[in-house]
Chain A
């Protein structure tokens, strides 16, 4: 892991814990977006996983009211903060494999939650992956590479991207569309 990425992750994870404690949903979303720059450049699973986890947490805490009544919610919240603090500690000690283990254990622990809470949270995580994939694509990484990095299908990603304004940016247009259409006409005489 590059030093710049490591120090960014330490800062972002610390701020994430504070944001959860302060119930600052907007800050969680901002922190997730911040990690996307590193995810696009370094493309290491650490930055990508953290971006997905933080975005998912923003969605989970945004809908806290819905989950509060689910069995296991309180212990999930306590466990989540504990694991994030531990992950930050491992990174601070430059223990990358320890950090990696904590993140993987956190994701595995979701599968052991009570069925209703588990299904809800895993669905949020899946949607967070698609959202973060669309942000990577927006940053210039190709559709195929992005789908590969996030482990999602191109079908899902295209469907999501189509509903964003990503293709409307100025840099997107390379050739006059009428000229491109004329080229196509020339192929189908």
Chain B
């Protein structure tokens, strides 16, 4: 069955922009399932539910889980992959612990079930999968010291994780726009250009890792 695995970051971007509803319609076009691992559900629902901050978003996300638009996959053992992932980048002789268990669990699940895509708005995990040497460049610039890559562990990481396409909430919103899910919002005062810009900037402002340059490029190609 076709599957997209979601990291908590994509769901947070959608929820805080009141865009969770697009998942319901996109699921029909996808003709498959949208899945979050157990640890992501804990981050999205269980933890914020017990605090006054973002309790409402937790309740809304839980509603989408209860209705089956998001499926929760039982916890899988990721200790080995987590250990390897956090022993790839080194500052001097010290390994940099850069990833969290929930992020690794989503990636491990995507690999395990051979998912069609992994949706992640968070930047570090995306860099680790798509271009770890770019991540090294970032770490070197910010930490102002040489960062070495343990190639053996990087190889192990790559062999344990599939080369999976990565998408973000911004791509999901654009697909929803292209499918006409926002057509009610277009009127004499709100042009398509306004809507696309509003979607991309709204998601960026709530934490989706997309640059202003990327937004400009997408805007030019979409309109």
Chain A contacts to B: CB under 8 angstroms: 2, 37, 40-43, 137-145, 147-148, 153-159, 161-163, 166-169, 171-178, 180-181, 183-185, 187-189
* Chain A residues near B213 (CB-CB < 8 A): 168, 173
CA distance A174 to B138 in the complex (A): 12
- Interface flag for B111 (CB, 8 Å): no
Binds A, one of B43-51, B71-79, B152-160: B43-51
* Chain A residues near B4 (CB-CB < 8 A): 187
**Shortest beta-carbon distance from B95 to chain A in Å:** 10
CA distance A188 to B135 in the complex (A): 30
CA distance A139 to B210 in the complex (A): 17
C-beta contact mask, B81-96 vs A, less than 8 Å → 1, else 0? 0000000010100101
C-beta contact mask, B102-138 vs A, less than 8 Å → 1, else 0? 1100000000000011000111111100110011011
Question: Which range contains the number of B residues in contact with the other chain?
Answer: 35 or more
**Shortest beta-carbon distance from A161 to chain B in Å:** 5
- From known contacts A139-B139, A181-B218, A183-B117, infer whether A155 and B16 are also in contact, taking CB-CB under 8 Å: yes
Of the candidates B97, B135, B212, which one forms a contact with A168 in the assembled complex, judged by CB atoms under 8 Å apart? B212
- From known contacts A139-B143, A167-B211, A172-B123, infer whether A144 and B8 are also in contact, taking CB-CB under 8 Å: yes
CA distance A140 to B134 in the complex (A): 11
* Majority DSSP secondary structure for residues of B touching A: helix
- Interface flag for B24 (CB, 8 Å): no
CA distance A171 to B141 in the complex (A): 10
Of the candidates B48, B141, B167, which one forms a contact with A184 in the assembled complex, judged by CB atoms under 8 Å apart? B167
The residue in chain B whose Cβ has the minimal distance to the Cβ of A139 is B142
B98/A145 in contact, CB under 8 A: yes
- From known contacts A155-B53, A185-B175, A189-B29, infer whether A162 and B167 are also in contact, taking CB-CB under 8 Å: no
CA distance A189 to B178 in the complex (A): 11
A174/B134 in contact, CB under 8 A: yes
B16/A187 in contact, CB under 8 A: no
Of the candidates B103, B171, B212, which one forms a contact with A144 in the assembled complex, judged by CB atoms under 8 Å apart? B103
* Chain B residues near A166 (CB-CB < 8 A): 123, 209
